Amino acid sequence: MSSATSTYQNLRVESRGAVTVLTVHRPDVLNALNHATLTELEAFALAFLDDPAQRALVITGAGEKSFVAGADIKELAALDAASAEAASRFGQRVFDRLERSPKPVIAAVNGYALGGGCELALACHVRLAGENAVFGLPEVTLGIIPGYGGTQRLQRLVGLGRALEITLSARRVKADEALAIGLANRVVPPAQLLDEAVQLATTITRNGPLAVAAALEASLSGSGLRIEDGQRLESARFGLLAATEDMHEGMKAFLEKRPAQFKGR
Ligand code: CAA
């Protein structure tokens, strides 16, 4: 079954051309992520990655108030030391699958992106924020810390000093500030948010998919490497792309003044 047609209890999946729109759908709890939803998210991610017709993903939350309000606190309250560590590892694994996706993943942050919701947005490659977006890591107010990658990804995006201030104070970061510190790529009126995210995703799908995948891999893997090693990785990917039909098509199309028809090989 394709990622676009699978049915899930807490996710809604819709295709817009080559772009999949995934909506986290637990409106009664502001789309909080319980274990069942994370399990579905992982199954969805695997199906999406396997679906050659779908070339980009937009993630958003149901309703007008919240992207994802975090991990489900009712479930967290029942965890002990061993199960909490396992739950954290599981959430990290699911979000890692999205971050390591060779197809671009864009968050359309339509309201609260708190705790695990902020961490989900951080695992996406690009974050578009509605004017009503509110980011934050309130975990320390609950006596825990971010467990789905937040202590690692936020500092890489906004710098350690800002990340520590946000994490330790648990304060909320509104859309304008998120834009100013690089947590959001753009701020958009709420009514246009999803369309703008789909439009950006569609623009990316017109580019060579192997090149997009290689740019993602070189950038993401490189961010954890010394610059010399990152540049070696870049050259290796640059070399591999030169052996693809897509590269020849891209350059030929430029010289012939026409749009390229990439085939992903
Ligand atoms: N888990 C479970 N239920 C949640 C939830 C969450 N993360 N966030 C909201 N809800 C539920 C509320 O309990 C409420 O349910 P009831 O109607 O049954 O009372 C419903 O959603 C609506 O929420 P509110 O009435 O609180 O709505 P509000 O507009 O007054 O406030 C909010 C909105 C500021 C987002 C507030 O709901 C809130 O603070 N939510 C919790 C945010 C949070 O702390 N997230 C971090 C969770 S921990 C985590 O994510 C750990 C990790 O890193 C893995």
CATH number of the domain that 221 lies in? 1.10.12.10
Tell me, what's the pLDDT at 211?
A: 98
Q: pLDDT of 233-254, one tens digit each?
A: 999 999 999 999 999 999 999 9
In the chain the first and final C-alpha atoms are separated, in Å, by: 24
Confidence check: pLDDT of 204 > 70: yes
134 touches 61 (CB < 8 A): no
Burial (0-12, 13-18, 19+ Cβ within 10 Å), 242: exposed
Taking the CA of residue 114 as reference, the ligand 1 atom at the shortest distance is 45
Q: Write out the two tokens for 225.
A: 């490497």
- Regarding whether 107 and 44 lie in a shared domain, the answer is yes
Read off the pLDDT of each residue in 91-119 and give the average, rounded to a whole number: 98
- Quote the domain boundaries for residue 44: 4-205
Pairwise CA distance, residues 11 & 23, whole Å: 6
- Regarding whether 89 and 213 lie in a shared domain, the answer is no
- Regarding whether 37 and 165 lie in a shared domain, the answer is yes
- Regarding whether 112 and 230 lie in a shared domain, the answer is no
Tell me, what's the pLDDT at 231?
A: 97
104 touches 54 (CB < 8 A): no
Where does ligand 1 bind, in terms of residues with CB under 6 Å?
Answer: 29-30, 32, 69-74, 76, 91, 112, 114-116, 119, 138-139, 142, 146-148, 150
State the pLDDT confidence band at 7, using cuts at 50, 70 and 90.
confident
- Regarding whether 164 and 251 lie in a shared domain, the answer is no
Q: pLDDT of 124-165, one tens digit each?
A: 999 999 999 999 999 999 999 999 999 999 999 999 999 999
Beta bridge partners of 58: 21, 106
- Regarding whether 110 and 87 lie in a shared domain, the answer is yes
Helical (H) or strand (E) element with 134: strand 134-136
46 touches 11 (CB < 8 A): no
- Against a cut of 0.85, is the pTM above it? yes
If one counts every other C-beta atom within 10 angstroms of the C-beta of residue 39, the result is 15
Active site residue 139: yes
- Regarding whether 237 and 134 lie in a shared domain, the answer is no
Lowest mean pLDDT among 3-17, 58-72, 105-119, 192-206: 3-17
Tell me whether residue 263 is in a domain: no
User: 216-221: long-range contacts (C-beta < 8 A, 24 or more apart)?
Assistant: 216/101, 216/102, 216/104, 216/125, 217/102, 220/99, 220/100
Read off the pLDDT of each residue in 45-53 and give the average, rounded to a whole number: 96
Active site residue 119: yes
Q: What separation in angstroms does the CA of 180 have from each of 24, 161, 162?
A: 27, 15, 12
Tell me whether residue 265 is in a domain: no
- Regarding whether 122 and 96 lie in a shared domain, the answer is yes
Tell me, what's the pLDDT at 1?
A: 44
What CATH number does residue 76 fall under? 3.90.226.10
- The structural domain count of the chain equals 2
Tell me whether residue 261 is in a domain: no
Tell me, what's the pLDDT at 68?
A: 98
Q: Write out the two tokens for 206.
A: 């017109």
- Regarding whether 250 and 163 lie in a shared domain, the answer is no
Q: pLDDT of 51-84, one tens digit each?
A: 999 999 999 999 999 999 999 999 999 999 999 9
- Regarding whether 140 and 240 lie in a shared domain, the answer is no
Pairwise CA distance, residues 245 & 241, whole Å: 9
